[in-house]
């Protein structure tokens, strides 16, 4: 199975590069912080989840930590493979960076920022 995981990681790396070049369109799903894109005969979903906080006591603040999960779906939308990465895992940075980029694209963050900046500049 390591070969399949290696290919899936390669697919995610390639999706990251294609998303940077705006060659791949991602869409929001009904699930919070999960996005999806269709490529050829399959799809990839990526999501971010808050990890349970481990606190020494209830009086201390623990910053939330996240883990990331990517799913490989076949043409019928069935999950055929998945990768879950916690901080420190080999592919953690890849999934974190891909998730952040995908969210910006799916939510049209750059257009929103441009609109807001133009609005503020027009008031100068």
pLDDT tens across 38-95, in order?
A: 999 999 999 999 987 655 555 565 667 899 999 999 999 999 999 999 988 889 999 9
| Residue 104, burial from CB neighbour count under 10 angstroms (0-12, 13-18, 19+) | middle
Instruction: Specify the pLDDT at position 5.
Output: 78
Instruction: Specify the pLDDT at position 124.
Output: 78
Instruction: Specify the pLDDT at position 52.
Output: 73
Contacts of 104 (CB under 8 A, 6+ apart): 110
CA separation, residue 24 to residues 7, 43, 67, 84 (Å)? 19, 11, 23, 22
The answer, yes or no, to whether residue 25 has pLDDT greater than 50, is yes
> Average pLDDT of 108-120?
91
The Cα 38–Cα 27 span in angstroms is 9
């Amino acid at each position: 199975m390591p070969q399949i995981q290696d290919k899936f990681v390669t697919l995610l790396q390639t999706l990251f590069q294609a998303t940077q070049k705006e060659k791949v369109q991602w869409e929001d799903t009904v699930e919070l912080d999960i996005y999806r894109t269709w490529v050829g005969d399959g799809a990839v979903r990526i999501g971010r989840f808050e990890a349970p906080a481990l606190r020494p006591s209830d009086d201390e603040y623990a910053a939330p930590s996240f883990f990331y999960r990517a799913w490989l779906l076949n043409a019928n939308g069935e999950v055929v493979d998945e990768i879950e990465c916690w901080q420190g895992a080999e592919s953690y940075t890849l999934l974190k960076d891909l998730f952040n980029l995908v969210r910006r694209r799916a939510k049209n963050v750059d257009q929103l920022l441009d609109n807001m900046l133009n609005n503020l500049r027009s008031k100068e």
